[in-house]
């Protein structure tokens, strides 16, 4: 009998985690083979632990992060670490581009990276020796963004980056508003490093100096700057806010490192060249007698599982490869791990607790403390056996903010024996592995939707529909049939934002690092109430805050009521149409043909773009690319078919232009019409973009859609549930733990 609780779980395993040969032939025949592969790889240095590791993995109780699950035991040259913060960027041209090279090498192996751009002098500052003004950190972020577009991370995933900037940098206001340009910095998540002094100035309505290297460039009102941060986040969902002083104060290693950036999802604040690997305890599997009066989380089993997970993760530090030697040295010196949880909301439901209630927050805090205790004691046992991390200093370590609240028996054990891992706990995004584990609730997020329907592409090209049900809801159905769900069943759509904050704050008390969580806000939340969410996060001890408010800019997400799993019908009449199945080609279409003469090529390329007219508006429907040069025949035919197939699916197809324009020819590009075009494919992309602009489909060159992308499905299928996934095309993109994530295939914006 299959170990998978739902068809989607098996599909995620097959697509993302199952080991296959280069030709696609499976090497992992079953999920048990995957568990065995991981257990054997991570016990290579202590073979007696293999069965213990396998037992932890079995039945999805412990879920190593995707890079470990997909990469361990494969022999492939990939890192098993999820998170990296790169070196401090020098304020020099040579140093900046050295850092760019390091970023490319790290993303090439599949690592998401973070950078603090506060170290680069502001725009307009003097550049000594060259009689010029500095272009500022934002201009260099554009360079990073372009580089990231050309680097495909391991597992065919785009690289993910985090950019941070201090709230007192002279260019902070440009940083705050950068994402208002829909075409700019698309590969970055962005967060402002907010200090305690700044928050106090906001509360007291004081002034705030913007400075660099001791020179004050401007003085602003702190509350005005705070409101600009809030307004950008309210309108564009970015930048996020990181309470950087609190992070450094509470850091176990504040005696030997300073943190100024995080990984792309924010759960790992890291020093220069810091690296962290991730894994999650599936709390939904730890509950005995779910939905009964005797329901409880098995504390003994939880502590034992945590101890095994810590040992496994400690071994990963030694087994993993690293893109850079500096990252390997940093990891070995501190042996940082990030053990977290998933399935929290489901576990609370099984105990009859309403997510967001005081009782649920108290239970969450208690569970997080138990996990923290078990993690620290397990790491102490490892230190007895293998030695503490090299930079361990008992007095300084125990004086850090996070250790001061730990129980005396744990502190005494650390003082006597040391500890193997400097930091142990973190709550990371678990969107894909939560689907793999049977669609348990993700991380510490509430249940997103009780159930929804997804279309599944079959081998013969047809599509079938299947219901995807939350793990706890399915358990309820199995026990009680069609009996109505109790009142304590709540989801992300119905929760008040302050309930989200309460749960994040409760979990943060016992988490070494930080938490990746999205606070869902209703579209009609007032600006003042929205600002209160961030102030509450600050007041209650959170290390950062990420919100998502659906609107015309960010797009809406799957909205599921307690009574129904159907999304509401979208407004009709928009010219951007989502099509659940490809439309048949009409007898005639309107279009234009464009000629592109690539330098040093004997024959021109002709590009024809034909449009479909819907509700009086034109949208691209197909492309034909032709050339008399037979060397171009195969790829032009392939491109014609692929682009046309994408266009016929509807939706926001502007990404086709972005991808083509980002292709660089290693042999060099060419100057055309006063612009440098990096490849012939980029030239084709530019032609298609100009056509889209001319027909009104795009707002302008390098800009977004002309109209609201939320529109009706034409003729076929059910209404869209949100943005279309760029990977599988399903309308199931949702904001989870700071990442736009597809519930159908697990594709994530953050990699």
3-state class (DSSP) for residue 197: helix
Question: DSSP letters along 554-610, please?
Answer: T-------SS-SPPPPPPS--SS-B-SSPPPPPS--EEEEEEE--TT-SS-EEEEEE
Q: The tokens of 73 are what?
A: 């035991």
Q: How many CB atoms lie within 10 A of CB 606?
A: 16
pLDDT in tens, 23-49: 889 999 999 999 999 999 999 999 999
Residue 243 CB burial class (10 angstroms; 0-12, 13-18, ≥19): buried
pLDDT at 662: 77
Residue 278 gets which letter from DSSP? E
Count of positions (residues) in the chain: 751
Q: Of residues 83, 148, 167, 265, which has the active-site annotation?
A: 265
- CA–CA dist 410, 408 (Å, integer): 5
Instruction: Check if the beta carbon of residue 606 is closer than 8 Å to that of residue 595.
Output: yes
Lowest mean pLDDT, pick from 86-90, 660-664, 712-716: 712-716
> Under the phi-then-psi rule, with left for phi > 0, alpha for psi from -120 to 50, and beta for the rest, what region is 482?
alpha
Question: DSSP letters along 361-404, please?
Answer: HHHHHHHHHHHHHHHHHHHHHHHHHH---TT--HHHHHTSTTGG
pLDDT band at 714, cuts 50/70/90? very low
Residue tagged 């996060």 (tokens):
537
pLDDT band at 741, cuts 50/70/90? confident
- CA–CA dist 725, 733 (Å, integer): 6
Q: The tokens of 658 are what?
A: 């972005």
Q: Which fold has domain 1-567+735-751?
A: Anaerobic Ribonucleotide-triphosphate Reductase Large Chain (3.20.70)
Residue 650 gets which letter from DSSP? B
Q: Give the side-chain half-sphere CA count within 13 A for 115.
A: 26
> Under the phi-then-psi rule, with left for phi > 0, alpha for psi from -120 to 50, and beta for the rest, what region is 481?
left
Residue tagged 């499905």 (tokens):
713
Q: What is the mean pLDDT of residues 713-735?
A: 52
pLDDT at 568: 32
Rounded to two decimals, the pTM is 0.79
- Alpha-carbon distances, residue 314 vs 249, 370, 588, 674 (angstroms): 25, 19, 63, 55
Instruction: Check if the beta carbon of residue 147 is closer than 8 Å to that of residue 187.
Output: no
> In degrees, to the nearest 5, what angle opens at C-alpha 514 toward C-alphas 513 and 519?
175
- Catalytic annotation present for 263: yes
Residue 13 gets which letter from DSSP? I
Q: What is the mean pLDDT of residues 502-513?
A: 97
Q: Of residues 102, 238, 257, 267, which has the active-site annotation?
A: 267
Q: Give the side-chain half-sphere CA count within 13 A for 260.
A: 15
pLDDT at 130: 65
pLDDT at 565: 40
Residue tagged 């022999």 (tokens):
75
pLDDT at 437: 95
- CA–CA dist 314, 335 (Å, integer): 7
Instruction: Check if the beta carbon of residue 536 is closer than 8 Å to that of residue 243.
Output: no
Instruction: Check if the beta carbon of residue 371 is closer than 8 Å to that of residue 281.
Output: yes
Domain ranges of the chain: 1-567+735-751, 570-720
Q: Are strands 287-288 and 112-116 parallel, antiparallel or unpaired?
A: unpaired
- CA–CA dist 398, 255 (Å, integer): 10
With a pLDDT cut of 90, the percent of the chain lying above it is 60
pLDDT at 709: 39
pLDDT at 22: 83
pLDDT at 149: 74
Q: Of residues 248, 254, 263, 439, which has the active-site annotation?
A: 263
pLDDT at 461 over 60: no
- The H-or-E segment that residue 200 falls in is helix 196-204
- Catalytic annotation present for 421: no
Strands (E), 602-724: 605-614, 617-627, 670-672, 675-677
pLDDT in tens, 171-215: 999 999 998 887 788 889 999 999 999 999 999 999 999 999 999
pLDDT in tens, 536-558: 999 999 999 999 998 766 655 44
Pick from 666, 692, 530: nearest CA to 607: 692
Rounded to the nearest 10°, the torsion over CA 394, 398, 400, 406 is 150
Pick from 517, 508, 514: nearest CA to 270: 514
Radius of gyration of the chain (CA): 26
Q: In DSSP terms, which residues pair with 83 in a beta bridge?
A: 112, 276
pLDDT at 738 over 80: no
């Amino acid at each position: 009998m299959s170990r998978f609780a739902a068809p989607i779980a098996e599909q995620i395993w097959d697509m993302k985690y199952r080991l296959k040969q280069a030709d696609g032939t499976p090497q992992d025949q079953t999920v048990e083979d995957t568990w065995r592969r991981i257990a054997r790889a991570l016990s290579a240095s202590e073979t007696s632990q293999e069965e213990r590791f396998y037992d932890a993995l079995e039945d999805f109780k412990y879920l190593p992060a995707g890079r470990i699950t997909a990469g361990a035991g494969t022999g492939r040259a990939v890192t098993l670490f999820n998170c990296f913060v790169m070196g401090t960027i020098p304020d020099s041209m040579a140093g900046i581009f050295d850092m760019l090279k390091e970023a490319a090498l790290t993303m090439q192996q599949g690592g998401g990276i973070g950078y603090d751009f506060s170290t680069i002098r502001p725009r307009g500052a003097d550049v000594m020796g060259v009689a010029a003004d500095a272009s500022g950190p934002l201009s260099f972020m554009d360079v990073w963004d372009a580089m990231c577009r050309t680097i495909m991370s391991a597992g065919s995933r785009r690289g993910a980056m985090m950019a941070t900037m201090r709230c007192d940098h002279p260019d902070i206001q440009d940083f705050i508003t950068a994402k208002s340009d829909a075409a700019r910095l698309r590969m970055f998540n962005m967060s402002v490093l907010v200090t305690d002094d700044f928050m106090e100035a906001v509360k007291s309505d004081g002034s705030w100096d913007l400075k660099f290297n001791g020179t004050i460039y401007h003085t602003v009102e702190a509350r005005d700057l705070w409101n600009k941060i809030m307004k950008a986040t309210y309108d564009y969902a970015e930048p996020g806010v990181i309470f950087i002083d609190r992070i450094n104060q509470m850091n176990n290693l504040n005696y030997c490192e300073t943190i100024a950036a995080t990984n792309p999802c924010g759960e790992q604040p890291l020093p220069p060249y810091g690296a962290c690997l991730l894994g999650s305890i599936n709390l939904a599997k730890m509950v005995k007698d779910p939905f009964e009066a005797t329901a409880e989380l098995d504390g003994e089993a939880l502590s034992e599982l945590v101890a095994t997970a810590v040992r496994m993760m400690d071994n990963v530090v030694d087994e993993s490869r690293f893109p850079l030697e500096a990252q390997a040295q940093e990891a070995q010196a501190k042996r940082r791990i990030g053990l977290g949880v998933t399935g929290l909301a489901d576990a609370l439901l099984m105990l009859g607790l309403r997510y967001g209630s005081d009782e649920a927050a108290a239970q969450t805090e208690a569970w997080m403390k138990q996990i923290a205790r078990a993690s620290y004691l397990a790491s102490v046992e490892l230190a007895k056996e293998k030695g503490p991390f090299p930079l361990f200093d008992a007095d300084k370590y125990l004086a850090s903010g996070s250790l001061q609240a730990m129980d005396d028996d744990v502190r005494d054990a650390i003082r006597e024996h040391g500890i193997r891992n400097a930091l142990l706990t973190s709550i990371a995004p678990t969107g894909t592995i939560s689907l793999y584990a049977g669609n348990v609730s993700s991380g510490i997020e509430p249940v997103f939707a009780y159930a929804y329907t997804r279309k599944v592409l079959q081998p013969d090209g047809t599509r079938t529909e299947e219901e995807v049900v939350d793990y706890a809801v399915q358990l309820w159905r199995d026990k009680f049939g069609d009996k109505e769900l109790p009142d304590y069943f709540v989801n992300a759509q119905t929760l008040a934002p302050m309930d989200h904050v309460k749960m994040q704050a409760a979990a943060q008390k016992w988490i070494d690092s930080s938490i990746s969580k999205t606070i869902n806000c209703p579209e009609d939340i007032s600006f003042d109430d929205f600002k209160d969410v961030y102030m509450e996060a600050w007041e209650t001890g959170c290390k950062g805050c990420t919100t998502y408010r659906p609107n015309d800019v960010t797009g809406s997400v799957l909205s599921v009521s307690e009574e129904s799993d159907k999304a509401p019908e979208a407004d009709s009449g928009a010219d951007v149409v989502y099509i659940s199945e490809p439309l048949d080609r009409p007898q005639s279409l309107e279009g234009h043909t464009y000629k592109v003469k690539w330098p040093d090529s004997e024959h021109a390329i002709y590009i024809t773009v034909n449009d479909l007219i819907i509700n009086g508006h034109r949208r691209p429907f197909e492309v034909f690319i032709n050339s008399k040069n037979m060397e171009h025949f195969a790829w032009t035919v392939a491109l014609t078919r692929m682009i046309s197939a994408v266009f016929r699916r509807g939706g926001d197809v502007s990404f086709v232009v972005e991808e083509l324009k980002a292709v660089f020819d290693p042999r060099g590009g060419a100057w055309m019409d006063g612009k440098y075009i990096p490849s012939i494919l980029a030239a084709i992309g530019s032609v298609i973009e100009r056509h889209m602009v001319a027909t009104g489909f795009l707002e302008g060159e390098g800009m977004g859609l002309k109209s609201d992308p939320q529109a009706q499905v034409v003729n076929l299928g059910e209404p869209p549930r949100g943005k279309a996934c760029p990977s599988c095309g399903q309308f199931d993109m949702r904001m989870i733990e700071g990442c736009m994530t597809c519930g159908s295939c697990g594709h994530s914006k953050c990699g």
